[in-house]
Every structure is written in structure tokens, then in C-alpha cells.
Structure 1
Amino acid sequence: MKRGFADIFKTDSVLKTLVLCVLTIGSYLIYKLYRFTSQINQHTEFKISNLFIAAAIVLFVISSGSLIYGLANYHDLTILKSSIGIHAISSAFDVTWIVMVRNRINLIAGSNKGDNLWLHPFVTSIFHVIYMQYKINQGLAKKVI
């Protein structure tokens, strides 16, 4: 399927995405993943389950809350230790979600390994939605797809 990025995604500032991801301690990452997923689900047949999205978001909120609570009560290490398990599960869901969105963007772009718009797995694992937005912006600027 080659409908084109223009039919699905919008250009957005990569710098803004980076700054908001850092300032919101990852919350903007989840928001951007949700936006990308919503755009993919609305405009393509490459759907990502709404149940999976809801589970990932709920786990992220619980994980973030428990980590913040644990750090606020750092004198009681059992609280912080108990939050590590939920954080690991939440992280597994987040990574899975990132991979799912990355794979769908590659499908939409019709990109294969080595192509200009191909989302490299290693770079995606480090920069997540920042890199995705960068590649989307590239695709929209070239109007190749």
C-alpha cells in the first residue's frame, strides 16, 4: 500500500518533539505514539489493537506514578523496589508499541533496509518518536510517497 505520508501524517517540529519528550519525562513520547497509531489506524489497514494501546497507556501511567511515589519516599526502598516490576512490564509494552509503529511506518513508506525513508531499528530504539517524526518529515518534504 502506497497511499503516501501526506494522506496519513503531518509535518511536526523534530526539535519540539525532542524538547517535549524530555520535559514531560516521557509522557509526550506516549502521546506521539498514540497520535501516530491513531493516524495509522484511521488511514490504513495496518491496525494496532486499541486494547493493546489502552493497556500500554495504563501501564505507563501506573509505572510512572509508582516510580515518582517511590522516589518521593526514597527512605523506604521496598516501595521503590516494588515499582521496578511494573516498570519492566510497562517498558516491554512501550518497546513493543514502538516496534509496531515503526514497522507500520516502514510498510506505509514502502521502505526496505537501506532506503532513505527506512526506519533503522537501532536508531529507532534510541530516539523513538523523534526519529520517526524526522523520517516522516523527510517523506513529506520529498513528496516521494
Structure 2
Amino acid sequence: MKHAFSGVFETDSVFKTLALCVLTLGAYLIYKLYRFTSQLNQHTQLKISKLFITTAIVLFVTSSGSLIYSLINYHDLSILKSSIGIHVISSAFDITWIVMVRKRINLLAGTHKGDNLWLNPFMTSIFHVIYMQYKINQGLADKTI
């Protein structure tokens, strides 16, 4: 059986992914989601819209910028309140994007609940692209799948 992840994804260090997600304050998470989405869109019929991706990225950048601005101006509570609203909207898009990528990786791998490479929704919601990369690495290392 041809391996589902071969030619789609690449092995990458899970530790590097974790470190870059933390050091870049989440920007690397968005980059990895974008990379996974691009790779998936080339190899699946169920595409993630470019408009959705662009909207999510713009919201993330806006949210990050407003959060930084509100921290600099912490004495003005109205700025902080408005940045929280933008952050909630951005987070909703990010979570939706993560769920969409998770679903497509599971479809590509042909996995079902309980399978070794199945992306568990709970683990994905906590560890996001770090967990996805771990499972991708696992799938690429296992030549029998």
C-alpha cells in the first residue's frame, strides 16, 4: 500500500516546531498551518479556501498587533477591551483552521478513531501543529501503512 504522507509532507523536528511556536508568539503556528494547508490543497479534493486562509492570517496579525499595542498602553482599558474582542474573533478563525487541517490530514491518511495515525481532536486542540507534525513524522517513519 502506498504511504499516504509520502510526497505530501516532510519530516520536521517536533522540538523545533514547539520552540519556534513559543519564540515567535504563535506566528510559526500560523506559518505551519499555512504550509500544511498548501500541501493538503495540492493533494486533496477538499480544499481550504484562500479567502479563509487570508482572512485568518490578517486577523492573526491584527490581533497580535493590537495586543502588543494594548500592552504598551496598558493604562487605557478601552484599548485592552477592543484588543480582546479582536483576539476572540482571530482565535475562532485559528481554531476553525486547525480543525479543517486536522480533518483533511485524517482523510488523506485514511485513518479513523483509534488508528495509530488518527489525529485526536483533544490532543490537536491542545498542541495544534506540534501534535500534527508528530503524527506526520510517525506516519512517514512507518513504511507499513
TM range (shorter): over 0.9
* 2:82 is aligned with 1:82: yes
What is the number of residues matched between the two proteins? 144
Distance 1:143 1:117 in 2: 12
Aligned-residue offset at 1:3: 6.2
TM-score norm. by structure 2 comes to 0.96
Secondary structure, counterpart of 1:6 in structure 2: coil
For residues 44-68 of structure 1, what are the alpha-carbon distances to aligned partners after superposition, in whole Å with 9 as ceiling and x for unaligned?
A: 2121001000000000000000000
Distance 1:65 1:143 in 2: 44
TM-score norm. by structure 1 comes to 0.96
Q: What is the aligned-residue RMSD (CA, Å)?
A: 1.1
Aligned-residue offset at 1:4: 1.4
For residues 79-133 of structure 1, what are the alpha-carbon distances to aligned partners after superposition, in whole Å with 9 as ceiling and x for unaligned?
A: 0111111110000000000000000000011110000000000000000000000
75-84 or 24-33: bigger deviation: 75-84
- Equivalent residue number for residue 33 of structure 1: 33
Task: Tell me if structure 2 keeps the 8 A contact 1:8–1:39.
Answer: yes
- Equivalent residue number for residue 54 of structure 1: 54
List structure 1 segments (4+ residues) > 6 angstroms apart after TM superposition: none
Q: 1:130-145, aligned counterparts within 5 Å?
A: 130-145=130-145
Aligned-residue offset at 1:15: 0.3
* 2:45 is aligned with 1:45: yes
Gaps of at least 5 residues in structure 1 are none
Task: Tell me if structure 2 keeps the 8 A contact 1:7–1:43.
Answer: no
* 2:15 is aligned with 1:15: yes
Distance 2:72 2:48 in 1: 35
Identity of aligned residues (%): 79
Aligned-residue offset at 1:144: 3.4
Gaps of at least 5 residues in structure 2 are none
